[in-house]
Amino acid sequence: MNGSALINANPVVHERKERVTRREVHDSSAEPIDALEVFDHVRDIKDPEHPYSLEQLKVVTEEAITVDDKKSHVMVVFTPTVQHCSMATVIGLCIRVQLMRCLPPRFKIDIKVAPGSHASETAVNKQLNDKERIAAALENPNLSELVEDCLAPASY
Partner 1 sequence: MGVDEMEMDVVQELEGHSDRVWSVAWRPGSGTSGRPAMLASCSGDKTVRVWQYNSSRDPFLPHWSCVAVLDGMHQRTIRSCEWSPDGRFLATASFDGTIAIWENVAGDFECVASLEGHENEVKSVTWNCSGTLLATCGRDKSVWIWELQPGNEFECISVLHGHSQDVKMVLWHPCEDVLVSASYDNSIKVWIEDKDTEDWVCAQTLSDSWGHTSTVWTVSFDASGHRLVSCSDDLTLKIWDSRNNLRSEGNLWKHLCTVSGYHDRTIFSVHWSKASGLIATGAGDDCIRIFSEEFNEESTLGGDPTYKMILKKERAHTTDVNCVRWHPQEASLLASAGDDGVVKIWKVASEILH
Phi-psi region of 57 (alpha: psi -120 to 50; beta: other; left: phi over 0): alpha
The one among 126, 148, 149, 156 contacting partner 1 by CB under 8 A: 126
Of 12, 119, 136, 154, the one binding partner 1 by CB under 8 A: 136
Decide: 37 and 29 in contact? Cβ < 8 Å.
Answer: no
29 binds partner 1 (CB under 8 A): no
In order, the DSSP letters of 64-89 are GEEEETTTTEEEEEE--SSTT-TTHH
Nearest by Cα to 101 from 151, 137, 47, 43: 151
Considering only residues 68, 130, 145, 148, which one is a binding residue for partner 1 as defined by CB under 8 A? 130
Q: Is 149 in the site for partner 1 (CB under 8 A)?
A: no
Residue 109 forms beta bridges with which residues? 74
Tell me if 5 contacts partner 1 by CB under 8 A.
no
Does position 105 bind partner 1 by CB under 8 A? yes
**Is residue 108 near partner 1 by the rule CB under 8 A?**
yes
Instruction: State yes or no: residue 69 binds partner 1 (CB under 8 A).
Output: no
Nearest to 38 by CA among 99, 125, 112, 100: 99
Which of the ranges 27-35, 60-68, 79-87, 128-136 carries the binding residues for partner 1, by CB under 8 A? 128-136
**Which residues here bind partner 1, judged by CB under 8 A?**
105-106, 108, 126, 129-133, 135-136, 139
